[in-house]
Structure 1
Amino acid sequence: MKLQFLGTGGGRFATISQKRMTGGFRIDNIDGKNIHVDPGPGALVRSHQFGLNPRKINMLLVSHCHTDHYNDAEVMIEAMTQG
């Protein structure tokens, strides 16, 4: 199992400025599955910056309904399902 943080910022100021990234985190290789948790703004870009392939995600998990936790969920679903 590998845990990689793509951004731990939160709240509207972090979301707007991205001084603290808000991309959530990835848990890879849990019984061969990869999970992206809280794919906030920048999740797709941060995935590429960290060398992670968003097409290899098997599951998204959104902890609660705030923009900094779900904003990039749609684009990550597109990547997961290959459009």
Structure 2
Amino acid sequence: MKNRSELIALFERKATEVAEREIKGVDESTVMSALGIDSLGMLELVGTMEKELGIHIPDDQLVGLTTIKDLIELIEERAAA
């Protein structure tokens, strides 16, 4: 499993692909909605991260995620399952 800084870098790469514009400088406290990616885009972003990391996150577990930290903690939890 990747460490947190690697997960943030992966998030930035995938967010840049989904948003079709460069997204950089995020950290664990970054609020995902502030990145200008809508809910469908966020599902696509998480789906590409799941594929790369070899994990599955049920869509219902994505509800209520606010920050990058929330997403990273969920990824770590799913990777440990």
Q: Same fold (TM over 0.5)?
A: no
In proportion to residue count, which structure has more strand?
A: 1
TM-score between both structures, scaled by the size of structure 1: 0.31
Higher-RCO chain (CA-CA 8 Å, sequence separation at least 6) = 2
In proportion to residue count, which structure has more helix?
A: 2
